Amino acid sequence: MPDQHEGELAEKIQRLIETIDIANILTEPLTKSIEEILRVTAEDLGSNEASVLVRDGDNGDLRFLSAVGQVAERLVGVLIPAGKGIAGFVLSSGQPIAVANADADASFYREVDKLTGYSTEMILATPLRHDGEVIGVLEYINRAGDPPYKPFSPDEMDRAARFADAIASLVRAYESAKLFRDMGQKIVGEGSEFDITEVREWLSHYRGGAEHREMMDLAVIVREIAGRGEAERSLCRSVLEALLTYTSDTINQTYLRY
C-alpha cells in the first residue's frame, strides 16, 4: 500500500467499519446456511445436485449464488441470460416446473452442461418468492444413483416449494447484507486506486483487536435492548444520546457520523 494513501485509507475505513464489517459477518453464515439447507433438502428429495440462482440486475438475468453437488464450484457465479432455459422461465413466470429427459440421447441443459461437464437428466425448479416478488430460483438436478431416474412427482414439487420459502428468506437477508458490502466497496473505492483486498486485510487485522470485540459486544447489547420493544428502544436512544452529549468534549470523532 503506498504511504500517501495510508492515512486517507484508514480514515475512510473507520467510517465504513460498521457497514463492511457487519456485512461480512452477516453474509458468511447466510451463504453457509443456504448451502446446508440445499444439502439437507436435496437429500430429502433424493437429488444429487441443488442450486440457488438469484436475480442479477433488472433485466431478468440470473446468477448462481450457491450450489451443492459434484459441479458446485463450477456453477457459483455463472450467469444465465434473461429468459434462457428452465430457470429463466421459472423466474419470469413465477411457476415451478419439473422437467425430465424424454429421450436418453438428448442434450438437456446445453449451456450449463457444456460449462460443467455434468449431464443433466432432470430438473425440479421452483421460484424463490419474497413479499410477492420472485427473487430467484431453486433447482434440484437428477436423482442419486444411476439412470433411468424416477421423475420428480407433484408431491416433491410441493415439498420443494416449501423449501424455497425458507431459502428465499435467507437469500433476501444475504442480498441486504451484500447491498451494504457493495455500497461500502463503492464508497471506499471512489477516487482511490486500492482494491478491496486491502480493505479485507485491514479489517481482518482490525477484528483481532480488543477494541473491535468490545464494540461488537456493545452492538449486541444495543440490539438486544432494541429488540425488546418501542419503549426500550426509546429509552436506549435517550441514554445513549445523553452519554454522547456528556462525553462530547472528549470525543474527537464518532463512528456514527456518516
Partner 1 sequence: MTAVSGIEKVNGSTRAMYFQLDDSWRSARGKGVSVAVIDSGIDIGHPDLAGKVVDSVEARVDNKKVVFDPSDAGDSAGHGTACAGIISKIAPDSELHSIKVLGAGGLGDGMAFLAGLEWAIKQKYRVINLSLGTTKPQFFAPLHDLLDRAYQAGCIVVAAANNLPQPSFPSVFSSSLISVIKSEEKDPLNFGFHYGEVIELTAPGVNIRTAWPGGDYRSLTGNSFACPHIVGVIALLLEKHPDLTPFHVKSALHSIAMENQNRNGEIVR
Encode burial over 122-159: b for 16+ CB neighbours within 10 A, e otherwise. Answer: bbbbbbbbbeeebbbbbbbbbbeeeeebeebeeebbeb
Separation of first and last alpha carbons in the chain: 25
Residues 74-103 that bind partner 1 (CB under 8 A): 82-86, 88-89, 92-103
Q: Which stretch binds partner 1 (CB under 8 A): 154-162, 189-197, 198-206, 243-251?
A: 154-162
135 part of the interface to partner 1, by CB under 8 A: no
Cell of 67: 450450489
**Least Cβ distance, residue 137 to partner 1 (angstroms):** 12
53 part of the interface to partner 1, by CB under 8 A: no
Q: Which is nearer to partner 1, 58 or 146 (CB)?
A: 58
251 three-state secondary structure: coil
**Least Cβ distance, residue 67 to partner 1 (angstroms):** 21
Residues touching partner 1, count (CB under 8 A)? 38
Q: Which is nearer to partner 1, 150 or 200 (CB)?
A: 150
> Minimal CA–CA distance to 135: which of 167, 181, 177, 112?
167
133 three-state secondary structure: strand
Q: Which residues bind partner 1 (CB under 8 A)?
A: 58-61, 82-86, 88-89, 92-103, 106-107, 110, 126-127, 129, 132, 134, 151-154, 157-158, 161
